[in-house]
Each structure stands twice: as C-alpha cells, then as structure tokens.
Amino acid sequence: MALKRANVFVSGNVQMAGFRTFVKNFADSLDVKGYAENLPDGRVKIVCEGEEENISKLENSLKETPPPFARVEHTENEFVPYAGEFTGFERRGDDVIEDDESTTTLLKSMVNYMKIFVDKSEVVNVRLGEIKVSIDDMHVTLKSVKEDTTQIREDTAQIRVDTTQIRSDTSQILEDTSNISLIVENTSLIPEIAKNTSLIPDIAKNTSLIPLIVENTSHIPAMREDTSAIKNNTREIGDSFQGKYEEMSREISQMK
C-alpha cells in the first residue's frame, strides 16, 4: 500500500495536558510518523505520514474513542504529497491551561483515569499470581510425570528381560516335550516286558543248578587229557593192525 501524508485538524476541548501524548501513543502503535501541536484557535493540528489505512484509523479513533479528559467535536483531514520527512512521532509546543475550572476538571479526569489504571493493574497482578501458582503446580505435576515415566521405563525393561527368560524356558520345554512321542512308543512294550518277566521265577529256579554244573565241569580238563591218551593209543593200535595186515598179505601171495 502506498504511503500518504495528511494534515488532521481536531476541534473541541483538546488542548489540555495529555491529549497530544494520547495522539502520539496511538500513532506509534499504527507506525504513523509526524507530530501534533496546539494551534492558537484552540484546535490541535496533526501532521502525519504512513499508510492511508492507518492514518484513517488514527482519525477515527480520535473521534470515536477519545481520552476521558478531552472532548472531540470535529475532525478535518486533508491529504498532501508524501515527503518522507519524519522518522518518528512527537508532540510539539506546550499544554494550554485555560482557567482554574478547566484545570480542576482535567485533574479530576486524570485522577479517575489513573484509579481505573491502578484497579486494572491490581487485577492483572492477582491474575499473574494465580498464573504463577498454576505454573508452579504444573512444574510439580511435570516432575511427578517424569518420575513416573522413568519408573515405567525401568519396569518395561524388566518385563523385557523376564519375557526373554520365559521364551528361553518355553523353548527348552518344547524341546523336552518333543521326546514324549518316543516315550509313548517305548511304553507300548511294557505289557510284553511284563509278560516276559513272568518267567523270572522259573529262571531263578533253574539257575539254582548252576553250582552243580560248575562243579561237574571242573573235571572237563582231566577228561580232555584222558581223551588225548585214548587217541594216541588208538593210533598205535591202528598202526600195529596195519603192519600185521600187510605182513599177512605178503605171506598169502607167496603161498599162491
């Protein structure tokens, strides 16, 4: 938006102390630059530069919401070529005091205005105190939440450790139970085993003869020795018969 320059004239009871300060403060809030001064005819002249919209806001504010100690009856506005002359807003000249009654009225208005300001300041202070208490409570709550969060993290870590152990134990259990089918298969032989073990008394009865068998078999080495002697004698007898047979065969041949 293009920058403008304007001369604003304010008529009414406006040359008392504080009015030009009011104009300056409002102009500063709108980034409007220039000055305000009292004229001999009782008006206040405002020379200002800025955006046209902000200049209009300044003029309308003086008409619609003037300070309580002033009475604005009329405003005039004329736009002139922009010069870029000002770097801020200032109040020029001295305040005009018309008579004692006007001064008294002005002072009373200013006192009332200050009372309102003080009352509002006290309310603000009370609310600031309440806000501070709320912030302190919030800090305590946040600290408690932080402590609880830390505890939750520790508990979660422990749960993870316990869960890992449970998984390990479960894996071991599954591994162990994988042999159950083999155990079941082997236990199917139990009736057969029971049937066979029913012969154990007879076996035990027969094994009672083992000492006698052992005693009788103790003669086996001597029997083996005697058997060897018999074999030798038999061999000698055989050789003798063979010799006799051959001798008789020769004699028969000669007789023929």
Q: Is the Cβ–Cβ distance between 58 and 32 less than 8 Å?
A: yes
Q: How many CB atoms lie within 10 A of CB 38?
A: 20
- Run of H or E including 65: none
Q: What are the φ and ψ backbone dihedral angles of 9, each rounded to 5 degrees?
A: -115, 125
Report d(CA 159, CA 25) in Å as an integer: 65
Six-digit token string for 175: 């591994």
Token couple for 5: 């320059």
Catalytic residue among 5, 7, 25, 38: 38
User: How far apart (Å, rounded) are the C-alpha atoms in residues 121 and 101?
Assistant: 30
Q: Is 160 a catalytic residue?
A: no
Pick the catalytic residue from 7, 13, 20, 216: 20
State yes or no: is 216 an active-site residue: no
Q: Please give the angle made by the CA atoms of 245, 251 and 255, to the nearest 5 degrees.
A: 145
- Residue 16: count of CB within 10 angstroms of its CB: 23
- What is d(CA 80, CA 86) in angstroms, rounded to the nearest whole number? 15
DSSP structure string for 94-146: ------HHHHHHHHHHHHHHHHHHHHHHHHHHHHHHHHHHHHHHHHHHHHHHH
Instruction: Provide the annotated active-site residues.
Output: 20, 38
